């Protein structure tokens, strides 16, 4: 009862704080006009560099359900961040995400709060995700973390430094995780981890690796108070931002950029029609005959090999910023396909170790309630549908969602015996595969051009849903490898 009362009080306070924040722009505008104070303004237009601001729900225009979600986010995080403002395209998922993240960062658990935020920094830094690093630097200090740790990983406790190897392998090549990685952490002579602490850390690492994928995949912009999120320069007449109210610019008009770019609408309309026709044909083939197990295994191996040759054409290496580099070691270690250089990695067969039968119970046993929260989040992302596809209604999209999820797991060497991997090449074209692989494996290389180039006639909400699928499928793949290694150590 006390917990419920505290939650209700926090929500009421968040509603009040959220309402008060809506008046801040007007106050700042007055300060600028009367006192001549320089007021920073957002550097970008809205929460995402990829999605036009006018297509994203504006704070103050939300309905009662959305307002409650915003208040929950404000109560849980002390802020209404841009990730929330983009995720709100899918309220059911956002609610589950906020519950999970609140539990991971603020509720009782094996690790102290400042350790949890520091692990979030370590995980986000592996993908050079300055957005998440900056958020958690502030949170780390807010919960009493030692500022010296932020000078570099070598200044953090040895126990956290020891987590560096697991962090890098999980982020970039999770199929290489073995029970020896687990043993090194649990049996260290000094600064050893308990099983419960390690599961807590693994969940946090996978959560923030995958959240970095969402952040880059949706082009999330830094908030105005963060590095790279503001400027003091006056806005140009031709490039106004809705948030420029504080600087005396009341124009909210902006150029709408279609997801289809310069491609004629008829061409992208034909793409949607062709995709729906393929779905129909594949369903008919399923109904007529089923491939043998040998054929299914062969198609998986073909798709796994082909996934190695999917990569962006402009594969530019961006040097990580110094403030990001200091949070992790072995900066040259990155994503490499599992079959490159003649290295053979055995296929991870889901019927031997799966989330539902094995991973879920292990997490719930060692970190109570978290398994349930993560499981709910996986199911919502995977099953989420409004039965629409671009301009079409009453469409069963389950085949397409499963193809996306299974393609991601295929890239990680994970196979479902009951799935025909021949469907993937029918449903996912090359530009879409490039986007998926980039966002999942090297998210820091995702670009607006990649985002614009796939599903060109689809709504932005549908593309955000794709990113939710990528985020959750990636997190589950990483968890499966780490939890299987923990199980092997335990047995």
For residues 262-279, give the mean pLDDT.
75
What pLDDT score does 286 carry? 82
What pLDDT score does 484 carry? 97
What pLDDT score does 255 carry? 36
What pLDDT score does 458 carry? 94
Distances in Å between the Cα of 72 and the Cα atoms of 10, 21, 84, 90, 413 are 8, 15, 10, 15, 38
> In terms of C-beta density within 10 A (0-12 exposed, 13-18 middle, 19 or more buried), how is residue 146 classed?
middle
Distance, in Å, from the CA atom of 211 to the CA atom of 131, rounded to the nearest integer, reads 11
Count CA atoms closer than 13 A to 330's CA, side-chain side.
Answer: 15
Per this entry, what is the length of the chain? 491
Q: Give the CA angle between residues 138, 140, 145 to the nearest 5°.
A: 130
For residues 263-269, give the mean pLDDT.
56
Q: What percent of the chain has pLDDT over 90?
A: 62
More confident residue, 139 or 10: 139
What pLDDT score does 328 carry? 67
What pLDDT score does 72 carry? 81
pTM of the model: 0.83
Write out the CATH class of domain 23-222: mainly alpha
What pLDDT score does 233 carry? 57
Residue 4 has pLDDT above 60, yes or no: no
Distance, in Å, from the CA atom of 119 to the CA atom of 361, rounded to the nearest integer, reads 23
Distance, in Å, from the CA atom of 30 to the CA atom of 247, rounded to the nearest integer, reads 9
Residue 441 falls in the annotated catalytic set = no
What is the tens place of the pLDDT at every residue in 15-60?
A: 555 555 545 556 656 656 666 555 555 555 799 999 999 999 877 7
What is the tens place of the pLDDT at every residue in 305-329?
A: 787 777 765 555 555 566 676 766 7
Q: Long-range contacts made by residues 424-432, C-beta under 8 angstroms, separation at least 24?
A: 424/303, 425/303, 425/306, 426/278, 426/281, 426/282, 427/275, 427/278, 427/279, 427/282, 427/399, 427/400, 427/403, 428/403, 428/404, 429/454, 430/310
What pLDDT score does 218 carry? 98
| Band of pLDDT at residue 260, cut at 50, 70 and 90 | very low
CA 248 to centroid of chain Cα atoms = 35
What is the tens place of the pLDDT at every residue in 347-403?
A: 899 999 999 999 999 999 999 999 999 999 999 999 999 999 999 999 999 999 999
What pLDDT score does 254 carry? 35
What is the tens place of the pLDDT at every residue in 190-203?
A: 899 999 999 999 99
Distance, in Å, from the CA atom of 92 to the CA atom of 95, rounded to the nearest integer, reads 5
> Of the spans 29-33, 115-119, 255-259, 282-286, which averages the highest pLDDT?
115-119
What is the tens place of the pLDDT at every residue in 64-86?
A: 888 888 888 887 777 789 999 99
What is the tens place of the pLDDT at every residue in 147-171?
A: 999 999 999 999 999 999 999 999 9
What is the tens place of the pLDDT at every residue in 344-358?
A: 778 899 999 999 999
Residue showing tokens 């089923």: 290
For residues 122-144, give the mean pLDDT.
95
Q: Where are the domains of the chain?
A: 23-222, 275-490
Run of H or E including 440 = helix 430-441
Q: What does pLDDT average to over the chain?
A: 83
Residue 469 has pLDDT above 80, yes or no: yes
What pLDDT score does 248 carry? 33
Of 334, 312, 481, which Cα lies nearest the Cα of 413? 481
What pLDDT score does 245 carry? 32
Run of H or E including 137 = helix 130-142
Of 129, 218, 241, 243, catalytic: 129
Distance between terminal CA atoms of the chain?
40
Query: Tokens standing for 347?
Result: 């296929």
Residue 293 has pLDDT above 90, yes or no: no
């Amino acid at each position: 009862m006390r917990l419920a009362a505290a939650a209700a009080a926090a929500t009421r306070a968040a509603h009040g704080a959220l309402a008060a924040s809506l008046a801040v722009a007007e106050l700042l505008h007055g300060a600028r006009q009367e006192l001549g104070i320089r007021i920073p303004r957002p550097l970008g237009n809205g929460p995402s560099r990829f999605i036009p601001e006018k297509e994203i729900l504006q704070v103050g225009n939300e309905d009662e359900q959305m307002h409650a979600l915003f208040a929950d986010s404000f109560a849980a995080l002390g802020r209404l961040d841009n990730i929330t403002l983009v995720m709100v395209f899918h309220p059911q998922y956002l609610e589950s995400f906020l519950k999970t993240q609140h539990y991971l960062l603020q509720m009782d658990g094996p690790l102290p709060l400042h350790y949890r935020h520091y692990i979030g920094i370590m995980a986000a830094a592996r993908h050079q995700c300055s957005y998440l690093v900056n958020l958690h630097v502030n949170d780390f200090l807010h919960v009493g973390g030692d500022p010296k740790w932020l000078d570099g990983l070598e200044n953090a406790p040895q126990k956290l430094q020891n987590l560096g190897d697991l962090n890098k392998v999980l982020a970039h090549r999770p199929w290489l995780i073995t029970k020896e990685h687990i043993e090194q952490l649990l049996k260290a002579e000094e600064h050893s981890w308990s099983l419960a602490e390690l599961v807590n850390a693994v969940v946090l690492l996978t959560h923030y690796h995958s959240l970095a994928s969402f952040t880059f995949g949706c082009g999330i912009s830094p908030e105005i108070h963060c590095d790279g999120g503001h400027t003091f320069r006056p806005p140009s007449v031709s490039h106004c931002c809705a948030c420029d109210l504080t600087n005396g610019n009341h124009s909210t008009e902006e150029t709408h950029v279609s997801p289809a770019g310069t491609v004629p609408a008829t061409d992208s309309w034909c793409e949607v029609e062709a995709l729906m026709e393929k779905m129909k044909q594949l369903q008919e083939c399923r109904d007529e005959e089923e491939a043998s197990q040998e054929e299914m295994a062969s198609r998986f191996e073909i798709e796994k090999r082909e996934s190695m040759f999917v990569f962006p054409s402009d594969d530019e290496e961006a040097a990580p910023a110094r403030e990001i580099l200091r949070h992790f070691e072995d900066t040259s270690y990155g994503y490499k396909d599992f079959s490159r250089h003649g290295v053979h990695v055995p296929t991870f067969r889901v019927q031997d170790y799966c989330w539902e039968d094995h991973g879920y119970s292990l997490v719930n046993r060692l970190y109570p309630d978290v398994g349930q929260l993560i499981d709910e989040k996986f199911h919502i992302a995977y099953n989420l549908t409004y039965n629409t596809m671009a301009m079409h209604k009453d469409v069963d999209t389950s085949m397409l969602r499963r193809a996306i999820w299974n393609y991601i797991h295929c890239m990680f060497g994970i196979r479902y015996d009951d799935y025909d991997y021949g469907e993937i090449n029918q449903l996912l074209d090359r530009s879409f595969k490039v986007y998926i692989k980039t966002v999942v494996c090297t998210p820091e290389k995702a670009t607006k051009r990649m985002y614009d180039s796939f599903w060109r006639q689809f709504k932005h909400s549908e593309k955000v849903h794709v990113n939710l699928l990528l985020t959750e499928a990636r997190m589950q793949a990483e968890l499966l490898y780490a939890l299987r290694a923990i199980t092997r150590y335990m047995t």
